[in-house]
């Protein structure tokens, strides 16, 4: 099921006054929440090739979800593996992500940024664009 037909079918699950703009923002929140909470705890080490391969595989995976137009994931930190137990796991502070979602005539760019002052991975809307 693709495109407009799917949008029309699922529209009945939202309030009748829920706009396409609100739905695009909702989808951006779902995108960011799924990225953040899916990645926390993945075994991880600070190796450039691993960071690159893992980031690209994750981006392609999250693009499979409905209404996603672009996903960019950058991983930071991690311990270098120097012995069998020398790896780390992904933590919120290791994840920098951006997703672009669209619904109807709206496109939303949302981001995950770890804010040290808050000690929290803030998910926020960076841009809303009417197409």
Supply the pLDDT for residue 61: 96
Q: Domain-by-domain residue ranges, the chain?
A: 19-130
**Percent of the chain scored above 70 by pLDDT?**
94
According to CATH, what is the number of the domain 19-130? Answer: 3.30.1300.20
Q: What's the pLDDT score for residue 3?
A: 54
Residues 6+ apart with CB under 8 A from 94: 44, 75, 76, 77, 78, 114
Q: Which two tokens stand for residue 71?
A: 């996903």
* pTM of this structure: 0.86
Q: Is the pLDDT of residue 55 over 60?
A: yes
With a cut of 60, say whether residue 1 has pLDDT above it: no
| Residue range 9-34, pLDDT digits in tens | 888 899 999 999 999 999 999 999 99
Give the separation between CA 69 and CA 79, rounded to whole angstroms.
32
Residue whose entry in the numeric block shows the structure tokens 């995108």: 31
């Amino acid at each position: 099921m693709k495109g407009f037909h799917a949008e029309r079918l699922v529209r009945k699950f939202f309030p009748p006054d829920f706009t396409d703009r609100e739905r695009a923002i909702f989808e951006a929140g779902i995108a960011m929440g799924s990225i953040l909470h899916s990645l926390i705890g993945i075994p991880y080490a600070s190796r450039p090739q691993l960071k690159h391969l893992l980031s690209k595989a994750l981006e392609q995976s999250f693009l499979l979800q409905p209404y996603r137009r672009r996903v960019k994931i950058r991983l930071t930190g991690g311990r270098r593996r120097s012995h069998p137990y020398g790896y780390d796991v992904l933590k919120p502070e290791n994840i920098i992500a951006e997703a672009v979602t669209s619904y109807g005539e709206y496109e939303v760019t949302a981001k995950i940024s770890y804010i040290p002052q808050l000690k929290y991975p803030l998910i926020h809307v960076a841009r809303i664009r009417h197409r």
